[in-house]
Amino acid sequence: MSASTSLKLRLPTFVLVLEVVMIALYGIFVTYDDNSNAKLQNNETDPMENSMYRDYPYFADIQVMIFLGFGCLLAFFRFYGFSGMVFNFLTATFAIQWAILIQGYFQFYSDGKIHLGVINLINAEFACAVVLISFGAVLGKTSPVQLLVMALLEIPIFAVTEWAVLKYLRINDAGGSILIHLFACYFGLGVTFVLYRPRLNKGHPKETTSYNSDILSVMGTLFLWVFWPSFNSALTFKGDDQHRAVLHTFLGLSSSTITAFALSAMFNKRGKITMADIQNVTLAGGVTVGASVDMMISPVAAYALGIMGCAACFFGYKYLTPFLAQRLRIQDQCGIHNLHGLTGLISSTAGICAILMATEDTYGPSMYQIFSHRAPPEGDPKLLELQKLIPGLKPGLGRTAQEQALFQVAAVFATIAAAAAGGLLTGLVMKLPFMASPSDENCFDDELFFNVPSDFDALSDYKITTLIAITLPYLPQ
Amino acid sequence: MSASTSLKLRLPTFVLVLEVVMIALYGIFVTYDDNSNAKLQNNETDPMENSMYRDYPYFADIQVMIFLGFGCLLAFFRFYGFSGMVFNFLTATFAIQWAILIQGYFQFYSDGKIHLGVINLINAEFACAVVLISFGAVLGKTSPVQLLVMALLEIPIFAVTEWAVLKYLRINDAGGSILIHLFACYFGLGVTFVLYRPRLNKGHPKETTSYNSDILSVMGTLFLWVFWPSFNSALTFKGDDQHRAVLHTFLGLSSSTITAFALSAMFNKRGKITMADIQNVTLAGGVTVGASVDMMISPVAAYALGIMGCAACFFGYKYLTPFLAQRLRIQDQCGIHNLHGLTGLISSTAGICAILMATEDTYGPSMYQIFSHRAPPEGDPKLLELQKLIPGLKPGLGRTAQEQALFQVAAVFATIAAAAAGGLLTGLVMKLPFMASPSDENCFDDELFFNVPSDFDALSDYKITTLIAITLPYLPQ
Amino acid sequence: MSASTSLKLRLPTFVLVLEVVMIALYGIFVTYDDNSNAKLQNNETDPMENSMYRDYPYFADIQVMIFLGFGCLLAFFRFYGFSGMVFNFLTATFAIQWAILIQGYFQFYSDGKIHLGVINLINAEFACAVVLISFGAVLGKTSPVQLLVMALLEIPIFAVTEWAVLKYLRINDAGGSILIHLFACYFGLGVTFVLYRPRLNKGHPKETTSYNSDILSVMGTLFLWVFWPSFNSALTFKGDDQHRAVLHTFLGLSSSTITAFALSAMFNKRGKITMADIQNVTLAGGVTVGASVDMMISPVAAYALGIMGCAACFFGYKYLTPFLAQRLRIQDQCGIHNLHGLTGLISSTAGICAILMATEDTYGPSMYQIFSHRAPPEGDPKLLELQKLIPGLKPGLGRTAQEQALFQVAAVFATIAAAAAGGLLTGLVMKLPFMASPSDENCFDDELFFNVPSDFDALSDYKITTLIAITLPYLPQ
């Protein structure tokens, strides 16, 4: 049994083959974009106008979220801290370099080349966030080879879905509630449905936290919390739109945080606070404001959305997660359906309401910039008029608010369907033999895939408790 | 006894009532400011000139300081790490959303509305820092309900003091040495004076650190250290003023850090370094340069201020804190009087000296920009002359350096008086029953308010030491 | 013996003497630069054009790398976490304030003054990084006094080398592969050669990690990883050059990370992952892309460089480090020769190739900006022509690609020679008595220089293992 989880051949083979593929594809297809290509600079180029100065600060913040935020958050298990943090590192790194290629093909491809700038990296980190969220559903029960396979398959399925939704349905989703959170959630649920482990429904002795791992995980939460406004605003229009995205995200997180404390204490038997709620439920507001994050929803709406998202997320953990595991064979290890699914649905609904209520009265002419598909089409005289007020306005599709709302609804269903189907398929591939999948006994255990230091298991509760029980009679007091 | 500290009803009630109030007030009063309102953008708006791009980077840095810096720093107790980090999270979040309203009313209110932009968030995070500093005085001895009550009362008292001092006394205090550090310190001392616990003067068995908690706390120090230049420069004038604020803060922290190491080793019995000094005293320089941080004090003065602040802080911890606790009933748990009070006083004095020594010779005409109250008043012909040199110069009060210095002195005393009175009052409210205040025995103990993991207390020193003592005779060696 | 390592007199004396020197030198020599001097601002100054807004974001990122990145990374020993993190803090702080003076004299000196702005701080933090890398060679075996002496001597030797190479050899080295990484590496090896401790070649019982220290160290790796693009791009030309530096650094780190995982599992006996590889080898790509980081090497080249650097670094740890220790008396504690030396050599070679292959075809006229020494000299008619295309182009030396390549080679050898000689000399000074150097037994032990909390040593493996062995027969199961 232990031989079958050795990474000695599997992991290097997989990685090195992929690297050869990457080198070939990067060599053939990837070149610099207009802002990173020396040849395209001339005497009219102002270096400080380079797109890098608009994008890099957000990229840097998202880097912290991906590698330190997710990394620490996923290290919450007592005997699975190495795996949580380090598999996150591996999976994220691979997912980003892979997404640069795949997304690049769909979004940054012209003249036979993928054109690379920091903006591609931001997009790729969003795709990577999708993979890491899905990872949450199967944390502790998968090998690094399985995680790489998951990233390998999820990135293209995500990229195609994103491309299709943006090209054909044309939706508003600045914070990615639909395309990032809903997709990631239902993909992850699809995977975990296939990887169902009935024996783990009764719990696993190593499925526990320690004092230090709980603190580490809260640090991860705080990294995510602190930089979430950058995440939600990275791809909005510059100017007032991005400004609002920051404000709404902050307010949503803020109200969701204090609500999480209140609910945690209220539904605890002894009126105490549960660390898992602080680690997860506090963040619900960041997702819930996502779909309408750049709209004129008013500050109080962001505040209220934070509370709603938090409540849905909290009760999801309490009632829905056990139900899914026991009745529907969906073991959602980190409860991504609560933090990303339920909140994503609320966010999508809120986005639709915001679209239906948007008027020129509230937005002024820039309404046609934010809701770009509502702008008049090419040739419409109203377009010329608007372009006098907003010089760079692009022609749109002339949609009404109701039409746009319907397309948003379609996007929600299409995304969920594509994600779930993709997740099921990916789960089947991950279940193939030779994937070094851990046995039920070895789940949640760093020792399976890591050389662990000598203090790793020396202090397990059982041993210590027994030691104390035995020696207690001899104690002077 | 244990029933009386249950959060089951108290915390949710308090939070949910506040949320209803918040929703009402945000709904009625809070709207977007000129830079975040879509309607106010037109064909002459350059999105990249949005105030967000000037403010957001400082906001993001201060976010890290508030949530990760303070959070880790306050987690230094061995059995109180959850509480230190997580109560900081709760208190900070609530303080900011509350400060947006209260400060907003005093500073960003017009046409019956509070106008919201990232700049308000920065101001609110400063108000939040005030609460968190005061929190340091009572760390380990307060329930989350008490902390929320403290934030609820401290924010308005602070906002009124800030408003009155800035409006009527009109002082220079870019780094907030007077309004942030002195206020926070004397408010906190007022609170802890009322909450005096005589039995804790002899120490408490859980008032101790662990190897991991000490390291975590140093990480908090480093987060604060690294981003302190952003804190001190966030609200200065843009350009050379902000540039100097960064330089001075860095130099002050730098000299204060190496001084802290020297003093720590020198006054240790066995010539070793004490972690508590590294965690706290190293930061003294950041406060000490505060009041004059944007002035032309010269780099060497910032360096010297760092050393002075560090020395005052160090000897404060050594001699003043025990004195305050035993003679004046002021139990200052984290020694905020050393890190914020003494340094704040030195900083205020240095600021006054810098004001008295400021001449046009050193500053050029921009002296009237930095010391804006010394600018000639409306109608003065010198104003017109100066406005040719500095286009945006606003009319001032025509104060002399001496007059400005006197107002600074007045501000110091007024701030301390308001803070101390406010702290005493707030302490009285916090002492009311139903606040879930921990008993003396249960101080410094996460178990009171948290579900703790099984390894929380398993390894307490006493148990392990006894185990070893008992089994030692049997050891082969 | 224990008396001789007391810091009671040594550390304070050393620090306080240095502070007096610093105050004298800062007072006499350091003033503000054009961007931080109030007097030099006038009615044509646009505050938002202040150099601070171009430099500060990179400075802030590098701050995190220096204090949190290196600090956590160096805290990987189980019983040496305080020392790793805190001596890093002390050494870095001192090195920066010292480098501001020394480098300032060579690079920012005019009219008898060192002119200070944020740009000097960035340069000083690079000098500081040099010291911290060298520190890695002697981690665990040096007192804080020795570390300060090392910084005191290394900074001037580095500053002179840097100045001489940049002034006389005039090289391209945007990411500092030659001047930072190679210098730091061979300086550190020189120091550790002199400080050779034969008895430690057999290992030391405290040379071990713990579960928490391993996680902490990975966090340090992640801080470095996440912000490395800022490090490598901080001093490039603004615009497309800096943009490419970010992209290449990210790609290099990315491929090096997945390669590190593959090699770690492949060469592990049981096919498991070794944390030390994740902590160190993943970062190799950041160094390897350094010398050509701003050139038009193409994205795939950055990707390939990451793989090469990672492989060299990995096999260096496996084969070269033991060889150096046992045969050449070079005990390289953290393996800096692998992470900075071998990768630096690969990077220098890659830089030379990139120089030889650079053509106007690829770069356009801006080739003469990136390779500034290839620009035509003053008076050359081609210069005027080019200046029409690139307005700010400065006259160069009219070097050919081959000439530039030869100067790069010369710089590599000169830097290594100066570093090794300087390191040997510094090692001799550090070996003097009165440096509080720890005895062999006391290496890797926080207790020597710190007051440690009571849980520090209570749980050492030996004690716990024996306890368990003894009580095991009595266990019910």
Domain range annotation of chain C: 3-461
**Distance from C-alpha of C427 to C-alpha of C298, rounded to nearest angstrom:** 42
Contact C371, C362 (CB under 8 A): no
Query: What's the gap in Å between the CA of C80 and the closest CA on chain B?
Result: 10
Would the CB atoms of A239 and B41 count as touching at under 8 Å?
yes
Interface mutation target, options A49, A207, A272, chain B, most CBs of B under 10 Å: A272
| Among candidate residues A446, A404, A448, A452, the one with its CA nearest the CA of residue A74 | A446
Per the model's pLDDT, the better-predicted residue between B392 and C94 turns out to be C94
* Beta pairing partners, A32: A116
Would the CB atoms of A262 and B12 count as touching at under 8 Å?
yes
Mean pLDDT of the A269-286 span: 97
Contact A208, A265 (CB under 8 A): no
Would the CB atoms of B258 and C90 count as touching at under 8 Å?
yes
Would the CB atoms of B258 and C15 count as touching at under 8 Å?
yes
Whole-complex ipTM? 0.95
Q: Is the pLDDT of residue C2 over 60?
A: no
Q: Is the pLDDT of residue C175 over 70?
A: yes
Query: What's the gap in Å between the CA of C24 and the closest CA on chain B?
Result: 8
Would the CB atoms of B299 and C30 count as touching at under 8 Å?
yes
Mean pLDDT of the B256-276 span: 97
**Tokens 């004396």 sit at which residue?**
C13
Q: Return the half-sphere exposure (C-beta side, CA atoms, 13 A cut-off) of residue B154.
A: 39
Mean pLDDT of the B316-332 span: 95
**Distance from C-alpha of B249 to C-alpha of C308, rounded to nearest angstrom:** 41
> Residue A268: closest CA among chain B residues belongs to which residue?
B8
Q: What is the pLDDT of residue B197?
A: 95
DSSP letter string over B219-287? Answer: HHHHHHHHHHHHHHHTTSPTTHHHHHHHHHHHHHHHHHHHHHHHHHHHTSTTS-B-HHHHHHGGGHHHH
Would the CB atoms of A211 and B453 count as touching at under 8 Å?
yes
Q: What is the pLDDT of residue B424?
A: 98
Q: What is the pLDDT of residue A470?
A: 60
Would the CB atoms of B468 and C463 count as touching at under 8 Å?
yes
**Distance from C-alpha of B426 to C-alpha of B187, rounded to nearest angstrom:** 9
Per the model's pLDDT, the better-predicted residue between B467 and C78 turns out to be C78
Q: Is the pLDDT of residue C475 over 80?
A: no
Q: What is the pLDDT of residue C388?
A: 87
Per the model's pLDDT, the better-predicted residue between C385 and B223 turns out to be B223
Report which residue type is found at A208: T
Mean pLDDT of the C103-121 span: 95
**Distance from C-alpha of C263 to C-alpha of C240, rounded to nearest angstrom:** 34
Would the CB atoms of C242 and A466 count as touching at under 8 Å?
no
Report which residue type is found at C359: T
Of B300, B465, B471, the CB nearest to C470: B471
Would the CB atoms of C57 and A57 count as touching at under 8 Å?
yes
Q: What are phi and psi of A115, to 5 degrees?
A: -100, 125
**Tokens 């994220």 sit at which residue?**
A92
Contacts of C214 in chain B (CB under 8 A): none
Neighbours of A168 (CB within 10 A): 12
Buried b (16+ CB within 10 A) or exposed e, B283-319: bbbbbbbbbbbbbbbbbbbbbbbbbbbbbbbbebbee
**Distance from C-alpha of B107 to C-alpha of C275, rounded to nearest angstrom:** 52
How far apart, in Å, are the Cα atoms of C403 and each of A331, C162, C173, C360? 64, 20, 16, 17
Mean pLDDT of the C390-403 span: 91
Give residue-wise pLDDT tens across range C176-189: 999 999 999 999 99
Would the CB atoms of C298 and A68 count as touching at under 8 Å?
no
Interface mutation target, options B54, B223, B254, B359, chain C, most CBs of C under 10 Å: B254
Of C57, C78, C265, the CB nearest to A8: C265
Would the CB atoms of B22 and A468 count as touching at under 8 Å?
no
| Among candidate residues A284, A166, A147, the one with its CA nearest the CA of residue A224 | A284
**Distance from C-alpha of B89 to C-alpha of C58, rounded to nearest angstrom:** 28
* CA dihedral over B42, B44, B47, B51, signed as positive or negative: negative
Q: What is the pLDDT of residue C41?
A: 85
Would the CB atoms of C38 and B476 count as touching at under 8 Å?
no
Report which residue type is found at B471: T
Q: Is the pLDDT of residue C270 over 70?
A: yes
The DSSP symbol for A450 reads B
Q: Which CATH number fits domain A3-38+48-461: 1.10.3430.10, 1.10.275.10, 1.10.3470.10, 3.90.226.10?
A: 1.10.3430.10
Interface mutation target, options C258, C277, C361, chain A, most CBs of A under 10 Å: C258
Give the torsion through C-alpha atoms of A261, A265, A267, A271, to 10 deg: 170
How far apart, in Å, are the Cα atoms of B474 and each of B220, B471, C459, C471? 43, 6, 18, 10
Per the model's pLDDT, the better-predicted residue between A309 and C42 turns out to be A309
Sheet holding B109-110, edge to edge: B30-32, B113-116, B109-110
| Among candidate residues C223, C241, C236, C120, the one with its CA nearest the CA of residue C176 | C236
Contacts of C19 in chain B (CB under 8 A): 255, 258-259, 307
Where does C3-461 sit in CATH, by number? 1.10.3430.10
Of B35, B43, B459, the CB nearest to A240: B35
Would the CB atoms of A8 and C476 count as touching at under 8 Å?
no
How long, in residues, is chain A?
477
Q: What is the pLDDT of residue A439?
A: 94
Give residue-wise pLDDT tens across range B178-209: 999 999 999 999 999 999 999 998 889 999 99
Give residue-wise pLDDT tens across range B2-20: 447 899 999 999 999 999 9
Give residue-wise pLDDT tens across range C214-228: 999 999 999 999 999
> Residue C62: closest CA among chain A residues belongs to which residue?
A60
How far apart, in Å, are the Cα atoms of B431 and each of A314, B18, B179, C453? 32, 20, 26, 33
3-state secondary structure of B14: helix
Contact A120, A140 (CB under 8 A): no
Per the model's pLDDT, the better-predicted residue between B289 and A476 turns out to be B289
Q: Return the half-sphere exposure (C-beta side, CA atoms, 13 A cut-off) of residue B120.
A: 32
Q: What is the 3-state secondary structure (H, E, C) of chain C?
A: CCHHHCCCCHHHHHHHHHHHHHHHHHHHHEEECCCCCHHHCCCCCCHHHCCHHHHHHHHHHHHHHHHHHHHHHCCCCCCCHHHHHHHHHHHHHHHHHHHHHHHHHHHCEECCEEEECHHHHHHHHHHHHHHHHHHHHCCCCCCHHHHHHHHHHHHHHHHHHHHHHHHHHCCCCCCCHHHHHHHHHHHHHHHHHHCCCHHHHHCCCCCCCCHHHHHHHHHHHHHHHHHHHHHHHCCCCCCHHHHHHHHHHHHHHHHHHHHHHHHHHHCCCCCCECHHHHHHHHHHHHHHCHHHCCCCCCHHHHHHHHHHHHHHHHHHHHHHHHHHHHHCCCCCCCCHHHHHHHHHHHHHHHHHHHHHHCCHHHHHHHHHHHCHHHCCCCCCHHHHHHHHHCCCCCCCCCCCHHHHHHHHHHHHHHHHHHHHHHHHHHHHHHCCCCCCCCCCCCCCCHHHCECCCCCCCCCCHHHHHHHHHHHHHHCCC
> Residue A9: closest CA among chain C residues belongs to which residue?
C266
Chain B touching partners, 3 or more CB pairs below 8 A? A, C
Contact B36, B116 (CB under 8 A): yes
pLDDT grade for C458, boundaries at 50, 70 and 90:
low
Contacts of B35 in chain A (CB under 8 A): 240, 243
Of B32, B89, B451, the CB nearest to A222: B89
Mean pLDDT of the B141-154 span: 98
Give residue-wise pLDDT tens across range B50-108: 999 999 999 999 999 999 999 999 999 999 999 999 999 999 999 999 999 999 999 99
Contacts of C90 in chain B (CB under 8 A): 257-258, 261
Query: What's the gap in Å between the CA of C252 and the closest CA on chain A?
Result: 10
Contacts of B273 in chain C (CB under 8 A): 7, 86, 144, 449-451
The DSSP symbol for A341 reads I
Q: What is the pLDDT of residue B457?
A: 74
3-state secondary structure of B110: strand
The DSSP symbol for B442 reads G
Q: Return the half-sphere exposure (C-beta side, CA atoms, 13 A cut-off) of residue A89.
A: 33
pLDDT grade for C3, boundaries at 50, 70 and 90:
very low
Would the CB atoms of B50 and A223 count as touching at under 8 Å?
no
Of B48, B72, B454, the CB nearest to A238: B48
The DSSP symbol for B313 reads H
**Distance from C-alpha of A396 to C-alpha of A380, rounded to nearest angstrom:** 10
> Residue C88: closest CA among chain B residues belongs to which residue?
B222
Contacts of A52 in chain C (CB under 8 A): 239, 242-243, 246
> Considering just the CA atoms, what is the radius of gyration of chain B in Å?
24
Q: What angle do CA A373, A374, A379 make, to 5 degrees?
A: 90
Would the CB atoms of C241 and A82 count as touching at under 8 Å?
no
pLDDT grade for A472, boundaries at 50, 70 and 90:
low
Assign residue B467 a region (left: φ > 0; alpha: ψ between -120 and 50; beta: otherwise): alpha
* Beta pairing partners, C412: none
Of A27, A39, A471, the CB nearest to C362: A39
Contact B11, A334 (CB under 8 A): no
Q: Which CATH superfamily is domain B7-39+48-357+400-461 in?
A: Ammonium transporter AmtB like domains (1.10.3430.10)
Would the CB atoms of B11 and A275 count as touching at under 8 Å?
no
Percentage of chain A beyond pLDDT 90 is 88
Q: Is the pLDDT of residue A466 over 70?
A: no
* CA dihedral over C27, C29, C30, C32, signed as positive or negative: positive
Q: Is the pLDDT of residue A349 over 60?
A: yes
Q: What is the pLDDT of residue A476?
A: 47
Query: What's the gap in Å between the CA of C329 and the closest CA on chain A?
Result: 28
**Distance from C-alpha of C107 to C-alpha of C110, rounded to nearest angstrom:** 9
Give residue-wise pLDDT tens across range A54-111: 999 999 999 999 999 999 999 999 999 999 999 999 999 999 999 999 999 999 999 9
Q: What is the pLDDT of residue C146?
A: 97
> Residue B305: closest CA among chain C residues belongs to which residue?
C23
Q: Is the pLDDT of residue B232 over 80?
A: yes
Query: What's the gap in Å between the CA of C291 and the closest CA on chain A?
Result: 17
Would the CB atoms of B458 and A465 count as touching at under 8 Å?
yes
pLDDT grade for C476, boundaries at 50, 70 and 90:
very low
pLDDT grade for B143, boundaries at 50, 70 and 90:
very high
DSSP helix, strand, coil percent of chain A (3-state; round to 5): 70, 0, 25
Report which residue type is found at A142: T
